């Protein structure tokens, strides 16, 4: 009996060690890590593109930013919320549809790269054009909501990648679970829109941006 108990205990300990082994954990979340790298690569390239863009492109981008900043001050709260949630919903829906195709996993990394490129382009433009004020605007007004939506997009991309791979390998997809998991990412997008509205109402009015682009 003692020998059997010893074997059972040692077997449990070996099982526990396997489940907590770093290599196994890394393999279990490999898709998430790869997708995060795609997003990070897009962010870096977007930041570099904003720094090396010519003056004409920067002027156009500045016009878009000025328009967006003024809308944050003039539009009612529900309009800000709807605009923020709609842009997030678009990316999430594209990921959702990719998960319903056996070829969708090929396009999911590109979605994250494109979103990261946009984040990096905006951050680089603000810091390069408006210096510390642009960096502070990005930190206080944009980054809190962007962090939430990027987290939602990362999780939705992982689920879409897994679902698409499952379809490609087995031809089977548990649609109910897939929809439930995407419901969680939509709740994150909802929270991101709420945070975006709060930061816009609380902080956007403290940044009276001038046409600093003319000084370049």
pLDDT in tens, the chain (216 residues): 444 444 444 444 444 444 445 554 555 577 788 999 999 999 999 999 988 887 777 888 888 888 787 778 788 888 889 999 998 999 999 999 999 999 999 999 999 999 999 999 999 999 988 889 989 999 999 999 999 999 999 999 999 999 999 999 888 888 999 999 999 999 999 999 999 999 998 998 888 764 444 444
Does residue 176 sit within a domain?
Answer: yes
Does residue 49 sit within a domain? no
Q: Which domain holds residue 81?
A: 56-215
Question: How many domains are contained in the chain?
Answer: 1
DSSP assigned state of 100: T
160 in a structural domain: yes
CB atoms within 10 A of CB 143: 18
Decide if 13 is inside a domain.
no
Burial (CB < 10 A; 0-12, 13-18, 19+), residue 117, is: buried
pTM, two decimals, is: 0.79
| Residue 20 lies inside a defined structural domain of this protein | no
Whether 39 is covered by a domain: the verdict is no
In a domain, 127, yes or no: yes
Residue pair 85/194 in contact (Cβ under 8 Å)? The answer is no
60 in a domain, yes or no? yes
């Amino acid at each position: 009996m003692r020998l059997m108990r010893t074997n059972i205990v040692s077997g449990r300990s070996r099982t526990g060690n396997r489940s907590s082994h770093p290599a196994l954990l890394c393999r279990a979340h490999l898709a998430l890590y790869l997708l995060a790298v795609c997003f990070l690569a897009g962010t870096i390239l977007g930041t570099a593109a904003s720094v090396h863009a010519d003056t004409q492109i920067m002027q156009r981008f500045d016009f878009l930013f000025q328009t967006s900043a003024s809308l944050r001050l003039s539009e009612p709260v529900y309009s800000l919320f709807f605009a923020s949630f709609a842009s997030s919903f678009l990316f999430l829906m594209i990921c959702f549809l990719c998960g319903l195709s056996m070829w969708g996993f090929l396009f999911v990394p590109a979605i994250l790269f494109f979103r990261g490129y946009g984040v990096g382009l905006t951050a680089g433009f603000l810091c390069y054009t408006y210096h510390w004020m642009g960096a502070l605007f990005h930190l206080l007004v944009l980054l809190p909501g962007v962090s939430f939506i990027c987290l939602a997009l990362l999780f939705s991309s992982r689920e879409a990648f897994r679902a698409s791979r499952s379809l490609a390998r087995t031809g089977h997809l548990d649609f109910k679970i897939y929809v439930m998991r995407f419901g969680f990412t939509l709740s994150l997008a909802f929270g991101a829109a709420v945070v975006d509205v709060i930061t816009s109402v609380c902080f956007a009015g403290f940044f009276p941006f001038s046409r600093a682009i003319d000084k370049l």
